[in-house]
Amino acid sequence: MPPRLDVALAAPLWRPLSYAVAPELAPIIRPLTRLLVPVRGKPRLAFALGAPQEGDTEGLKPVSDVLDEAGAPQLIPSELLGFFTRAAAYYQAPLGQALAWSLPGGLGGIEPGAIKAPGRAQAAWAAWRDGDPDQAPRPGTQGAKVLELLLEQSPRSLDALRPDFPGITAIARRLEAGGWLSLTHKPVVKDLIGRPILPEPEPEAYSDEQAAALAQIEPAIKDHTFRPFLLYGITGSGKTEVYVASCAVALATGRQALVLAPEIGLCLRLEGLLKERFGPDKVAVLHSGLSPAVRRGQWLAIARGETPIVVGARSAVFAPLANLGVICLDEEQDESYKQNDRLRYHARDMALLRAQEQACPVVLGTATPAVTTYERARQGGLETLRLTKRIKQAVLPLMEVVDLKSAGKLAGGFLSLRLKQAIEQTVAQGRQVILFLNRRGFAPALICPSCGQRVGCPACSLSLTLHKKKNAMVCHTCGHNAPIPAACPSCGQGEAGLKPLGLGTEQVSETLQQLLPDMRLGRLDRDAASSPAQLRQVLSAVAKRELDVIVGTQMLTKGHHLPGIGLVGILLADQALSLPDFRAAERAYILLTQAAGRAGREGEAGRVIVQTFDPHHHAVTAALAHDPEAFYAEELDERRALGYPPFARLVGLRLEGASEAATARASHALARALEQARAKIEPRAAVLGPAPAPIARAAGRWRWLILLKSPTSSAAAEILRLGRHRAGPPPSGVRLLVDVDPLSLI
Ligand code: ADP
Ligand code: ZN
């Protein structure tokens, strides 16, 4: 009886499928081995859910092929089955789909590393064609055809042969068993990746606080136990060295380390540092700034166990490390950790889950914990390690607020007299200035003075952003890109001329050049630094003091090491506060605190000037007073009163469709079903909506929202399961996106 195997198909399918397994393949299939299985006559990617078992295979189709090589480490180690099962269940995604989504592009269905070379059998085979040894593949069979091909050209990759020989792995293994050929693995292609911006010397001794933190983390790594830590330390307190030291402990105990940062710029710094300390061949890197080929190469190197340290952005939380000793995740509050398509995971939450599954500690580092993290630590769900002192100096920056309501005339429309003078003073002292505005482009809208209409995106219910240098109107939601119109697209009026409305970083740079003609200005946003190379270039120009003033978006406030900054100006703090979102205050507080962290890192006190219309908001006052406890206390009170996280779990459900009516109908039907499920399962939960999304139409699709609020995540999952089951799948043309713990609801 051939063995039988359950697999998870890489498709929106919830139940496992069963297949028969050829005897040649059975020994090389383990949990999470990638397979090709026939579905309606076509080979599809699937993942083994266990090893093949003796069982009834009556009526079952056989597995077509095995994609992971015999003897080689798998692309997703078997050890991660538990982690992925829980991750997929948590985010309401089918397991096979979650697994496929975690692989870098191109690794889903192919095996770029494995090749076949005919070995010593070549001569024997040639002899057999002429003479007649026993047990050779009969002419005309698939095995004989494969050998014929290999005699013409060798080595060949499995992938090259698979289209003509769908069961190539089984064929090759049979031939190998008979001594007719040999299977080898092609070495991984290596590539050059980012260099460090500044060399950072190894510390001679840890600070007392660093040492105390390590004294907690070290035993957890050595004891192989799950312990979640919050490394709560102000900017410049030396958190990074704690990560480095934790990696060293993990490696010394023969295990691996995973270091995560929210964005590429920070990955570059960590990569440089870790390669410097541990050697370049010990560190693999995974982030979207790498070419797909390099990413695949890195993934394979990790899977083969060649690189015990992995540095990366959010997707690296799925890196194929089978023997993990520690996870360090920097800037845990950063919203870039949330993936907003396909599997909508949060890398911080996945890091916690993974550490639990792989029995290792996880270190969440931050100067400004997310409100949910802060509360979790307060409740004892995280062990807090405090770093309260800056390594190189103890001076906190001087924080000042400019109330824009009474600031008088603003230079260039955005610069108060106080901020302008401060810029001039700072640059005169030979120090640098960062000006922050979280809006790229020239202006967020172009408006027609005669009809009052804004130039809108044809596919979304949004204004297009004016990008003057590129001569383009760009939709920041769907990417629509068109030349700047000469006349108003709505009324045709051209005489009056279309007027920019609002402020973006491009405009700030342009106007500053006029206001401060002697200064060397730079810009850092997704337009000015669209690739890691450009980002590195701008950051190194800042580090080498080739720039006096840098205007930038959020990208600038993250933990880059920029020692020359004497002044940080926040042009409009209200930008963060006015978002229609319960996290607006948290975002504003974090932004202000992080921006402050950029000022005056080396010895001299820095200065921070915050321009705002709302100087009495608790996010502003707490940041100005360097009083995090005041902010968290007030914010937690508000969240408790309104029933928002951490006091409730949220699940966002978005329905999208080209037909407005069908989308609305499906949304009402689903909301009704969820409401019934809620009443049955957890009366304290609430189903809000359906309602058209704040961005009611995007990329040509109408969007409706339903929000599920639940006191516990298990109740939320149950309500969803039952509600979705009762409502049935959405009608064709309407798509349902489920976002567990959503960060934005638009
Ligand atoms: P954080 O990540 O908390 O913002 P960093 O890790 O960037 O802080 O450390 C700030 C600076 O202090 C860096 O230049 C780093 O090289 C230096 N540093 C960290 N730990 C030590 C130490 N124990 N001794 C001397 N310098 C240190
Ligand atoms: Zn658009």
Atom of ligand 1 nearest to the CA of 207: 23
Atom of ligand 1 nearest to the CA of 242: 6
Count of structural domains within the chain? 5
**Cα(694) to centroid of ligand 2, in Å?**
14
Is the pLDDT at 709 greater than 60? The verdict is yes
Tens digit of pLDDT for each residue in 670-701? 999 999 999 999 999 999 989 998 889 998 99
Q: What percent of the chain is modeled with pLDDT above 70?
A: 90
**Residue 697 CA: which ligand is closest?**
2
**Cα(606) to centroid of ligand 1, in Å?**
18
One domain for residues 69 and 22: yes
- CATH code of 540's domain: 3.40.50.300
* pTM for the structure as a whole: 0.83
| CA proximity to 313, closest of 345, 342, 358, 280 | 345
Q: Residue 329 domain-assigned?
A: yes
Nearest CA, atom 24, ligand 1: 203
Give the model's pLDDT for residue 187.
Answer: 40
Measured at the alpha carbon of residue 239, what is the angle toward residues 625 and 388, in degrees to the nearest 5? Answer: 35
pLDDT category of residue 130 using cuts at 50, 70 and 90:
low
Is the pLDDT at 664 greater than 70? The verdict is yes
Give the model's pLDDT for residue 242.
Answer: 98
One domain for residues 372 and 387: yes
Q: Which of 78-87, 163-172, 477-486 has the lowest mean pLDDT?
A: 163-172
Q: Return the best residue to mutate from 240, 267, 387, 557 for the ligand 1 pocket (most ligand atoms within 8 A of CB).
A: 240
Boundary of a domain, candidates 39, 70, 102: 102
**Cα(602) to centroid of ligand 1, in Å?**
11
**Residue 697 structural domain:** 649-740
Tens digit of pLDDT for each residue in 564-617? 889 999 999 887 776 667 888 999 999 888 888 777 656 677 899 999 999 999
Collapse the DSSP code of 184 into the 3-class scheme (helix H, G, I; strand E, B; otherwise coil) and give the result.
Answer: strand
In whole angstroms, give the CA distance from residue 311 to residue 324: 13
Pocket around ligand 1: residues whose beta carbon is below 6 Å from it? 200, 203, 206-207, 210, 233, 235-241, 391-392, 559, 561
**Residue 461 CA: which ligand is closest?**
2
End-to-end CA distance of the chain: 55
Tens digit of pLDDT for each residue in 424-439? 999 999 999 999 998 8
**Cα(593) to centroid of ligand 1, in Å?**
18
**Residue 698 CA: which ligand is closest?**
2
One domain for residues 675 and 575: no
Q: Residue 190 domain-assigned?
A: no
**Cα(391) to centroid of ligand 1, in Å?**
6
pLDDT category of residue 149 using cuts at 50, 70 and 90:
confident
| CA proximity to 736, closest of 12, 11, 9 | 12
Nearest CA, atom 5, ligand 1: 238
Residues with CB under 5 A from ligand 2 (ion): 457, 459-460, 475, 477-478, 480
Nearest CA, atom 16, ligand 1: 200
One domain for residues 179 and 164: yes
In whole angstroms, give the CA distance from residue 741 to residue 344: 9
One domain for residues 9 and 155: no
Q: What is the mean pLDDT of the chain?
A: 87
Q: Residue 493 domain-assigned?
A: no
Give the model's pLDDT for residue 217.
Answer: 98
Atom of ligand 1 nearest to the CA of 330: 2
Q: Residue 139 domain-assigned?
A: yes
One domain for residues 75 and 143: no
- CATH code of 29's domain: 3.40.1440.60
One domain for residues 414 and 509: yes
Atom of ligand 1 nearest to the CA of 233: 3
Nearest CA, atom 19, ligand 1: 238
**Cα(465) to centroid of ligand 2, in Å?**
10
**β-strands 398-403, 283-286 pairing:** unpaired
One domain for residues 382 and 398: no
Q: Residue 445 domain-assigned?
A: no
Is the pLDDT at 353 greater than 90? The verdict is yes
Nearest CA, atom 26, ligand 1: 203
Give the model's pLDDT for residue 183.
Answer: 73
Order across the sheet with 472-474: list the strands.
Answer: 465-467, 472-474, 481-483
Spell 452-491 as b/e; 16+ CB within 10 A means b.
Answer: ebbbbbebbbbbbbbbeeeebbbbbbbebeeebeeebbee
One domain for residues 676 and 620: no
**Residue 475 CA: which ligand is closest?**
2
Q: Is 412 exposed, middle or buried (0-12, 13-18, 19+ CB in 10 A)?
A: middle
Nearest CA, atom 14, ligand 1: 200
One domain for residues 593 and 694: no
In whole angstroms, give the CA distance from residue 177 to residue 250: 39
Output the CA torsion sign for 15, 20, 22, 23. Answer: positive
Average pLDDT over residues 312-316: 96
Atom of ligand 1 nearest to the CA of 559: 4
Boundary of a domain, candidates 576, 607, 641: 641
Output the CA torsion sign for 654, 657, 663, 666. Answer: negative
One domain for residues 522 and 617: yes
One domain for residues 92 and 222: no
Let me know: does 557 contact 592? Beta carbons within 8 Å: no
Nearest CA, atom 20, ligand 1: 238
